[in-house]
Structure 1
Amino acid sequence: MADRNRLPGETAERTPVHEPAEETVEDIDRDRRRRRAQFLRDLTEARELRDRVRPRAARAARMRQVLRMRTFRW
């Protein structure tokens, strides 16, 4: 009985799949820092865009932040 998962003319032996080399901790950490930096750049850009589009809301948010910082105890 023929194997249904095989294509016609394909042999039963499969070629070994080449697995990528394991990433080192430094590579993983570097990728994480790169993704985080990109995320923070995008977040800053989105905030700047929102501030340009809604200047009144942005001013109110700045005022609230100033008030919070005044009442913050060091």
Structure 2
Amino acid sequence: LRRQKMVTKTKAMRTLVMTSMPSEKQNTVVQVVKALGGFSIVDRVCESTTHVVSGGHRRTLNILLGIARGCWILSF
């Protein structure tokens, strides 16, 4: 029972970062994240970030930090 509570807390703390994305694509990602749940969207990569979504092939600080932290790097 204790382990299940810890897993729930961990899932609730996962974050996603968007970088180099036009506002139209950002709105789409926000809608999907809200529908699926389990993530919050933040501006910068941090300890709880698991995914970085990029709107283009650019080497932004968030992309590089995401790679260094072992995050999933996704393009949209």
TM-score (norm 1): 0.30
Structure number with higher helix proportion:
1
Greater Cα radius of gyration, structure 1 or 2: 1
Q: Which has the higher contact order (CA 8 A, sep 6+)?
A: 2
Structure number with higher strand proportion:
2
